[in-house]
Amino acid sequence: MSAMTNFSRIENIEQRLFYYICGFSFFLPLSIAVGNIFLTLSLFGLAHRLMRKHDDVAENLRRYRKIFLVILALILAVFFSALTSGFVLEGIKRFAERYIYHIAILFPVFLVRYRKEQIIFLVKCLLAGMFFCHLSVIFQAVSHLSEESWRFGGVLDIMPQGTLLTMSLPIYALLFMHLKRQRFWALTALTVGIGALILNGTRGAWLATLILSPTVILLYSKKKLKSLSVILSVLILIGGIFAVTPRLSDRFATITDMNMQSNAERMKMWQSAFNMFEDYPIFGVGYGQYATAYQTKYILPTAQERFQTHAHNNLIQMLAECGSVGFSAFIFMWIYFSYFSLRGWLRKKNFACLLFFCVLSGLMLHGLTEFNFETAIPSKIFWYSLGLCLAYCRIKND
């Protein structure tokens, strides 16, 4: 009886839940399967905690109700699109996975009131997992660099790895500037991240990082001219690496080459997606129906990649699948989350808000050339980072 009492004590429930979230934080960037185990444990742990104590939930949600209303608007827009599709059950199943299960990790870390030190430790666990994820790209490259195919994803596929690098590199740079005693580790992570980004070879991630990293560094820096000179020096160094490496320089040159196969194919896919939107302007072709609609009706005669399952662009994918309703909800979420995070940094100097802005912008900027908003690992990191940011903001505001 005593053991059962101890098991159900609020303090013990919250402690176990914290350990589950720690496991999720570290393993999420490394393994979908292991990350899902800890995510499931976290959700069961949260359910147990809410059964025992839930009187503080309403206040937590009320304080950031605008954030959750924006999320709810997106969820409802996608849900209604799924209901209007020709295959409702298929759309609902995908909706449950990507807009319920992916978002769910936001709540275990936000609804339970943890100490500042615990939130920081969760961030460290996530960054450690991302670091080893990026390091796996280096290890893979060392053993395969002599082969004709030279792009590497490490423990992930190439595109999700590119998104994670776009999210994390600006964070490593900010931590190097922000930390006083742990700059060596931040510099190590930054160096590994830059190497992994180069070897990953994802051009959209290259461009997104090139835009985002200098932007957040200048936002953070008080000595902007000095920071600008450091940024230019790093860019010159990286440019020199590209210049003396034919594989890199040739690939970089293809960014603006519309005759290149992947570029030309994207243009065709985007045209097909716009055709879907023109035919179904309100709710799109139906959530979960893009692949079927593209392959059976809307693919252009000149398209060569005839079995594509997404539009390689978050905005265009949303426009085609969920129409103007889903597209508007998605754009509003991006704008409001950007406003929330930038306001938190510019007005209150809340470092957590600036870090979340890196995750948000990394996902969205790379998402202009890749459909990554619903990809398992980047998506869960995005929603989890929002939960960490809100949890830290609540502590700062108390």
277-293 pLDDT, tens digit per residue, is: 999 999 999 999 999 99
Q: What distance in Å separates the CA atoms of residue 12 and residue 9, rounded to the nearest whole number? A: 5
Give the pLDDT band (50/70/90) at residue 5: low
pLDDT of residue 398: 67
Classify residue 67: in a domain, yes or no. yes
pLDDT of residue 308: 86
CA-based radius of gyration for the chain: 22
Give the pLDDT band (50/70/90) at residue 260: confident
pLDDT of residue 147: 64
Classify residue 270: in a domain, yes or no. no
Helix (H) or strand (E) holding 176: helix 158-178
Q: What distance in Å separates the CA atoms of residue 346 and residue 342, rounded to the nearest whole number? A: 6
pLDDT of residue 57: 84
Classify residue 164: in a domain, yes or no. yes
How far are the Cα atoms of 82, 140, 163, 247, 273 from residue 151, in angstroms, in the given order? 36, 10, 14, 10, 28
Q: What distance in Å separates the CA atoms of residue 216 and residue 362, rounded to the nearest whole number? A: 11
Angle at the Cα of 43 from the Cα atoms of 46 and 28, rounded to 5 degrees: 125
The whole-chain average pLDDT of the chain stands at: 92
pLDDT of residue 257: 84
Select from 215, 202, 138, 122 the least CA-distant residue to 164: 202
Classify residue 267: in a domain, yes or no. no
Number of structural domains in the chain:
1
**Chain segment 294-321, per-residue pLDDT in tens:** 999 999 998 888 888 899 999 999 999 9
Give residues with Cβ within 8 angstroms of 6, minimum separation 6: 12
Select from 216, 173, 225 the least CA-distant residue to 346: 216
Both tokens assigned to 77: 């827009």
**Chain segment 209-250, per-residue pLDDT in tens:** 999 999 999 999 999 899 999 999 999 999 999 999 888 998
How far are the Cα atoms of 49, 121, 205, 337 from residue 366, in angstroms, in the given order? 37, 28, 5, 17
Q: What distance in Å separates the CA atoms of residue 274 and residue 368, rounded to the nearest whole number? A: 15
**Chain segment 182-197, per-residue pLDDT in tens:** 899 999 999 999 999 9
Give the pLDDT band (50/70/90) at residue 145: low
Classify residue 295: in a domain, yes or no. no
Whether 8 shows a pLDDT value over 80: the answer reads: no
Classify residue 246: in a domain, yes or no. no
Whether 31 shows a pLDDT value over 60: the answer reads: yes
pLDDT of residue 58: 85
Q: What distance in Å separates the CA atoms of residue 141 and residue 133, rounded to the nearest whole number? A: 13
Give the pLDDT band (50/70/90) at residue 256: confident
Classify residue 32: in a domain, yes or no. no
- For residue 146, the enclosing domain spans 60-223+305-397
- What residue ranges in the chain does DSSP mark as E strands? none
Question: Which of the 8 DSSP states describes residue 295?
Answer: I
Classify residue 137: in a domain, yes or no. yes
